[in-house]
């Protein structure tokens, strides 16, 4: 066994010989491989097999093929140079037709040697062509080029103009300019006269890079050789000018073609249309598309349509893109995978996710195999909508269709989980990436840092920073910007400022996002003066504030009641050339409305309108809140009518405000009518929406405005009777919007926060009696509530139910339970629970951070921490170096106290 491993290692080392050796010693390498053959048994079996006259029908053939590799084939052919050439060629061709066997370019070298040594030059030339076609990478192309140039010493196998052109085209596929120049020079030194195809290949390669100056040199060579530029020549120049963003020059070449007696083809049009689209000249591109039909035998093809559909989607003109897609199919031009992927991406950006998924299914039904880009677009769309579970279904479909996820796939899922505050699930994907040999990027870590900060896990965010460095990645301005923002959100502005001050020393440029986050943090900490100092410093440092920077300052000034200075800052914003956004005006309007200054609010409203900004749903909602607070129901309904007239759709907050307004007025029926409209519009009520409804239901729907408005939302959950919740369910059913999982989850959250575990348990039973499955969030609320009430056995039972149903509990809940069990003296149960969690796919480092370091060590359970660390090690769950160091330091520090 050891000997076999050593042989395989030796063989691999031979295959890794640098390619420049192959140019000088192509056959000596084969001999070396022969001398150190890794698979003598396979070679012997092959030789025996091919000795049979009817080897194709020999029973051992099928069993032998799975053990063959391209390397072992090369080894066999190299060791048997005297093999009958016809048999060698037949066997080689047979393997090329076996789906499970993939030949590589190295396999061709010993076959060519056998053919040449037997004077089968015509067959060798055909094999040479197949070798060139089989090149899939730059390394393949280099290997082939060096081998063929070395074999050029055989007179009967010398490269002719056709062979040289084929080699040049192979190199051109990978835009290998320097190698192409070498081959071109070799061609001239070999006294082979280049033809128009030679020059066109050189011109096209340079034009792909936008290097029209070098391309012009080869154009002059065409004229010197008394040849005429053709369609391919001019089409390449159109591409070259477009690549260097000079679309006008490309247009001139395009217009010159008919004058030179050269017909434009579909590629000529496509190159120019693509250039126009890239330059943002969409209308010109569409006009050129329409003109295509006027050119004889030049109809738009699938690439033409794909270019235009992609550009229209990029400009948010997706309705036109869909129309073009339909037109394409009507005209008999079948979309390809790229066309459909572009459209899937466009539909997802419009959040038309169901349509996008149907299109992906239709692709498969029509024999178009969706690729990783197609699936990534769909996954990204669902994640941005917060539907990560559906995105995971797409991910499973992707894998079942043998489409391998890439780093971007995982980054999109990680982003999705962080967006819905499930960072523990995002962290578990980090391990899955590593299992697949995918290297996390700086984007991966930045997303995870953002996710930890969003959940208030600042310590874990800093640990990720160190883990990022351990993986050879340097934190950048986005990493530190996220940390600054996270600290500011938690009111830790001084720590954020310390990080901010250290960035210059780290060589990291402070960008506008970091300044804005810090300014916002100091405004929220009611230190607006210091925020204004930072603003001044920002400008002095040459970092131009954007609209968001101005907006956070305007908001900070308004919160201090300094509307005049806020209005002056808005004016200064205009003078600085920064266009105010709707939010700029919305902040001022909201503050004025809070002070019942309706006239001033309307003045700002009309100013906004005169600046070309149409009021959005947030501004209308501010007016709704103000009118409902003033008990001006008619005026509020006028605002709703105005919204409808302007085509502004209410969002979740607007619907909630309406429900509250009607509830305050004792008009519960109208409040539930709004709830019904809310459901129909596709908005799921929030926890706050249900709190509002319960508040008004608790009042019995009587005309008790003062009492209803004075009830605090938190008090609702302290006092609500279970019968009121049942009444809510009846009302929802009556209005055609029966309670769903989200309803029960919102109610359970409210009850559990107030420690009302008995009512929450009854709610869970009622939910199951309605044949609605409890969600992950409901179980999480139950576990947390039980832990706070020290009902650890009950919490463990709910946690086990979660795990059994395939849910991954958040690590904060696990920490509460494990630490609570140890606090309660139930050590064996705590250990068993921890052991159970290790099989669930959590990220090992995060388990150590949150359960061992932030949990047990902070509570002084040093021995317990060491015991659980031992369990992790015995289960071969590896931790990063920095996590292990943190644990050892924590254990030592706690021991020494």
State the pLDDT confidence band at 14, using cuts at 50, 70 and 90: very low
Looking at residue 781, its pLDDT comes to 96
Looking at residue 288, its pLDDT comes to 92
The residue written with tokens 């993986």 in the block is: 471
pLDDT tens digits for range 648-699: 999 999 999 999 999 999 999 999 999 999 999 999 999 999 999 999 998 7
Q: What is the CB-side half-sphere exposure of residue 156 using CA atoms within 13 A?
A: 11
Rounded Cα distance between 86 and 692, Å, is 85
Q: What is the mean pLDDT of residues 716-743?
A: 94
In the three-class reduction of DSSP (H, G, I as helix; E, B as strand; rest coil), residue 382 is classed as helix
Looking at residue 458, its pLDDT comes to 95
State the pLDDT confidence band at 11, using cuts at 50, 70 and 90: very low
Residue among 585, 655, 591 at smallest CA distance from 626: 591
Contact 685, 656 (CB under 8 A): yes
Rounded Cα distance between 689 and 657, Å, is 9
pLDDT at residue 711 tops 80? no
pLDDT tens digits for range 206-235: 999 999 999 999 999 999 999 999 999 999
Rounded Cα distance between 288 and 276, Å, is 10
Angle at 597 between CA 593 and CA 603, to 5 degrees: 90
pLDDT tens digits for range 823-863: 999 999 999 999 999 989 999 999 999 999 999 999 999 99
Rounded Cα distance between 111 and 73, Å, is 10
Looking at residue 438, its pLDDT comes to 93
- How many Cβ atoms sit within 10 Å of the Cβ of residue 754? 17
- How many Cβ atoms sit within 10 Å of the Cβ of residue 400? 8
Rounded Cα distance between 292 and 297, Å, is 9
Percentage of the chain lying above the pLDDT 70 cut: 93
Rounded Cα distance between 48 and 294, Å, is 65
pLDDT tens digits for range 793-821: 999 999 999 999 999 999 999 999 999 99
Rounded Cα distance between 797 and 199, Å, is 76
pLDDT at residue 172 tops 90? yes
Rounded Cα distance between 94 and 82, Å, is 20
Residue among 351, 330, 355 at smallest CA distance from 340: 355
pLDDT at residue 612 tops 90? no
Contact 202, 184 (CB under 8 A): yes
pLDDT tens digits for range 321-348: 889 998 988 888 889 999 999 999 989 9
Query: Which whole-number Å values give the CA distances from 652 to 430, 588, 663, 769, in the listed order?
Result: 33, 22, 16, 29
Q: What is the mean pLDDT of residues 148-157?
A: 87
Looking at residue 77, its pLDDT comes to 87
pLDDT at residue 12 tops 50? no
Q: What is the CB-side half-sphere exposure of residue 852 using CA atoms within 13 A?
A: 30
pLDDT at residue 537 tops 70? yes
pLDDT at residue 247 tops 90? yes
Rounded Cα distance between 889 and 463, Å, is 14
Q: What is the CB-side half-sphere exposure of residue 324 using CA atoms within 13 A?
A: 26
The residue written with tokens 């317990």 in the block is: 864
pLDDT tens digits for range 18-74: 333 233 333 333 333 333 444 446 778 888 888 888 888 888 887 788 888 888 888
Q: What is the mean pLDDT of residues 82-102?
A: 87
Residue among 299, 240, 305 at smallest CA distance from 264: 299
pLDDT tens digits for range 424-450: 999 999 999 989 999 999 999 999 999
Percentage of the chain lying above the pLDDT 90 cut: 71
Q: What is the mean pLDDT of residues 177-194?
A: 94
Average pLDDT, the chain: 89
Residue among 275, 249, 254 at smallest CA distance from 264: 254
Q: What is the mean pLDDT of residues 174-179?
A: 93
In the three-class reduction of DSSP (H, G, I as helix; E, B as strand; rest coil), residue 512 is classed as helix
Looking at residue 56, its pLDDT comes to 83
pLDDT at residue 703 tops 50? no
Any idea how long the chain is?
Answer: 897
Q: Which residues of 596-633 are buried (b: 16+ CB within 10 A; e: fewer)?
A: ebbebbeebbeebeeeebebbbbbbbbbbbbbbbeeeb
pLDDT at residue 278 tops 50? yes
């Amino acid at each position: 066994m050891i000997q076999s491993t050593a042989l395989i290692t030796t063989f691999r080392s031979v295959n890794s010989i640098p390619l420049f050796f192959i140019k000088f010693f192509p056959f000596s390498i084969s001999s070396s491989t022969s001398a150190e053959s890794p698979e003598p048994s396979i070679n012997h079996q092959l030789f025996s097999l091919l000795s049979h006259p009817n080897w194709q029908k020999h029973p051992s053939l099928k069993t032998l093929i799975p053990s063959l590799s391209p390397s072992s084939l090369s080894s066999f052919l190299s060791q048997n140079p005297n093999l009958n050439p016809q048999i060698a060629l037949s066997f080689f061709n047979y393997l090329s037709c076996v789906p499970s066997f993939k030949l590589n370019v190295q396999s061709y070298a010993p076959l060519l040697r056998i053919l040449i040594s037997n004077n089968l030059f015509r067959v060798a030339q055909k094999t040479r062509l197949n070798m060139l076609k089989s090149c899939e990478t730059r390394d393949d192309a280099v290997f082939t080029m060096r081998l063929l140039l070395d074999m050029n010493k055989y007179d009967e196998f010398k490269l002719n103009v056709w062979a040289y052109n084929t080699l040049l085209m192979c190199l051109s596929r990978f835009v290998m300019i320097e190698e192409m120049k070498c081959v071109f020079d070799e061609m001239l030194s070999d006294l082979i006269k280049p033809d128009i195809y030679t020059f066109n290949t050189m011109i096209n390669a340079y034009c792909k890079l936008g290097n029209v100056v070098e391309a012009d040199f080869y154009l002059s060579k065409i004229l010197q050789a008394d040849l005429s530029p053709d369609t391919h020549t001019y089409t390449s120049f159109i591409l070259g000018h477009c690549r260097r963003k000079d679309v006008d020059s490309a247009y001139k070449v395009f217009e010159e073609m008919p004058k030179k007696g050269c017909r434009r083809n579909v590629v000529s049009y496509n190159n120019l249309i693509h250039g126009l689209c890239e330059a943002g000249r969409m209308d010109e591109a569409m006009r050129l598309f329409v003109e295509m039909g006027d050119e004889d035998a030049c109809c738009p093809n699938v690439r033409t349509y794909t270019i235009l559909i992609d550009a229209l989607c990029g400009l948010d003109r997706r309705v036109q893109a869909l129309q073009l897609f339909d037109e394409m199919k009507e005209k008999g031009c079948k979309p390809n995978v790229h066309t459909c992927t572009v459209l899937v991406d466009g539909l997802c950006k419009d959040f038309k996710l169901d349509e996008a998924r149907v299109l992906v299914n239709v692709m498969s039904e029509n024999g178009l195999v969706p690729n990783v880009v197609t699936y990534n677009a769909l996954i990204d769309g669902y994640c941005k909508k917060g539907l990560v579970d559906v995105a995971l279904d797409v991910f499973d479909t992707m894998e079942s269709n043998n489409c391998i996820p890439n780093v971007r796939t995982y980054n999109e899922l990680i982003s999705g989980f962080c967006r819905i505050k499930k960072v523990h699930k995002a962290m578990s994907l980090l391990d899955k990436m590593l299992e697949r040999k995918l290297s996390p990027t700086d984007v991966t870590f930045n997303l995870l840092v953002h996710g930890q900060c969003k959940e208030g896990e600042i310590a874990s965010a800093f640990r990720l920073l160190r883990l990022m460095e351990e993986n050879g990645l340097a934190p950048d301005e986005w990493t530190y910007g996220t940390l600054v923002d996270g600290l500011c959100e938690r009111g830790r502005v001084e720590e954020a400022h310390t990080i901010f001050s250290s960035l210059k020393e780290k060589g990291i440029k402070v960008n506008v996002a970091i300044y804005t986050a810090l300014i916002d943090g100091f405004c929220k900490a009611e230190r607006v003066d210091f925020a204004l100092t930072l603003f001044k410093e920002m400008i002095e440092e040459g970092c131009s504030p954007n609209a968001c920077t101005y907006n956070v300052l305007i908001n900070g000034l308004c919160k201090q009641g300094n509307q005049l200075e806020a209005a002056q800052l808005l004016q200064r914003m205009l003078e600085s050339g920064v266009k105010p956004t709707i939010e700029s005006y919305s902040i001022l309007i909201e503050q004025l409305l809070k002070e019942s200054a309706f006239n001033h609010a309307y003045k700002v409203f009309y100013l906004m309108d005169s600046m070309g900004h149409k009021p959005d749903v947030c501004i209308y909602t501010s007016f709704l809140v103000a009118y409902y607070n003033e008990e001006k129901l008619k005026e509020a309904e006028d605002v709703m009518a105005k919204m409808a007239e302007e085509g502004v759709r209410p969002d979740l907050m607007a619907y909630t405000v309406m429900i509250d307004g009607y509830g305050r007025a004792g008009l519960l029926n109208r409040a539930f009518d709004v709830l019904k409209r809310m459901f129909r519009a596709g908005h799921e009520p929030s926890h706050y929406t249900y709190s509002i409804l319960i508040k008004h239901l608790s009042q019995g729907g009587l005309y008790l405005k003062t009492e209803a408005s004075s009830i605090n939302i938190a008090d609702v959950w302290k006092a609500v009777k279970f019968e009121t919740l049942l009444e809510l369910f009846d009302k929802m059913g009556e209005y055609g919007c029966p309670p769903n999982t989200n309803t029960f989850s919102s109610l359970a959250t409210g009850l559990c926060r107030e420690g009302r575990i008995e009512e929450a348990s009854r709610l869970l039973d009622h939910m199951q009696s309605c044949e609605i499955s409890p969600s992950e969030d409901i179980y999480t609320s139950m576990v947390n509530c039980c832990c706070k009430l020290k009902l650890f056995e009950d919490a463990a039972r709910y946690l086990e139910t979660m795990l059994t149903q395939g849910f991954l509990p958040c690590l904060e809940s696990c920490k509460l339970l494990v630490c609570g069990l140890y606090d309660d003296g139930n050590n064996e149960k705590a250990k068993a629970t921890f052991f159970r969690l290790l099989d669930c796919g959590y990220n090992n480092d995060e388990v150590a951070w949150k359960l061992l370091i932030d949990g047990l060590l902070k509570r002084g359970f040093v021995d317990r921490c060491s015991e659980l660390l031992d369990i992790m090690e015995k289960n071969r769950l590896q931790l990063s170096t920095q996590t292990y160091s943190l644990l050892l330091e924590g254990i030592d520090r706690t021991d020494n106290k």
